[in-house]
């Protein structure tokens, strides 16, 4: 049942995350999201293989980022809304699934719990200022010529690798029974506890 819950959660993210971001972009007159081909319920279109592996194994991950054309927005706050819509999608999802959790059956409880965990994991991952996350795109929106943004853009994969390595080392040193102490798990669990 747990495996089914993970698969359903991943399909939900792959199908609806990019659509929610793309719809906001389209409403703000940016047609690049529509042209990217990611405004579809076909999960294969949004799938990133490495991100998918992380979703299955770690409870967080990423999909193909939706294209946004910054020059389509005449105001910075409009462009910001597009990047914030990813956070909003996951936050609303968590709240809705948490409410359903209170009235769910045992099997549905497992699926809803997994949906909450994965959505919280996406919030955490997108808070890291590494290339193509929502937070990085916000930084790039307001600080396009910053040396920090250029460095993060070039070293994003290395930074992500270090985060994962630290998480793995912490869980091994502290013990597998204490994996809650890994970097991403701590933040994800805090988000879940705050909302629930």
The pLDDT value given to residue 15? 87
- As given in the structure block, the two tokens for residue 67 are 């294209």
Domain residue limits, the chain: 2-195
Q: Give the ranges where the chain is alpha helix by DSSP (H).
A: 2-27, 32-35, 43-46, 49-58, 76-101, 106-127, 134-142, 147-174, 183-195
The number of beta carbons lying within 10 Å of the beta carbon of residue 189 is 15
Round to whole Å and give the CA distance between 154 and 169: 25
Q: Can you give 116-134 as a three-state secondary structure string? A: HHHHHHHHHHHHCCCCCCH
Separation CA 25–CA 85 (nearest Å): 9
pLDDT in tens, the chain (196 residues): 788 888 899 999 988 998 999 899 888 888 887 787 778 888 888 888 888 888 887 777 788 888 787 777 888 888 889 889 999 999 999 999 998 988 878 888 889 988 998 899 889 888 888 877 889 888 888 887 888 888 888 887 787 777 777 766 766 676 655 555 566 676 777 777 777 6
């Amino acid at each position: 049942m747990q495996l089914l819950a993970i698969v359903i959660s991943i399909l939900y993210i792959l199908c609806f995350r990019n659509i929610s971001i793309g719809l906001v972009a389209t409403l703000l007159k940016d047609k690049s999201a529509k042209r990217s081909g990611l405004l579809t319920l076909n999960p294969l279109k949004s799938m990133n293989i490495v991100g998918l592996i992380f979703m299955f194994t770690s409870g967080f991950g990423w999909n193909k980022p939706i294209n946004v054309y910054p020059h389509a927005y005449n105001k910075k706050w409009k462009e910001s809304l597009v990047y914030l819509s990813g956070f909003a999608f996951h936050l609303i999802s968590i709240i809705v699934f948490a409410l359903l959790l209170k009235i769910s059956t045992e099997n549905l409880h497992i699926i809803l719990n997994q949906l909450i965990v994965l959505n919280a994991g996406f919030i955490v991952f997108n808070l890291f200022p590494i290339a193509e996350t929502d937070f990085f795109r916000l930084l790039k929106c307001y600080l396009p010529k910053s040396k920090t943004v250029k460095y993060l853009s070039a070293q994003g994969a290395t930074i992500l690798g270090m985060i994962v390595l630290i998480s793995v080392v912490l869980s091994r040193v502290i013990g597998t029974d204490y994996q809650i102490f890994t970097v991403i798990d701590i933040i994800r669990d805090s988000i879940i506890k705050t909302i629930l």
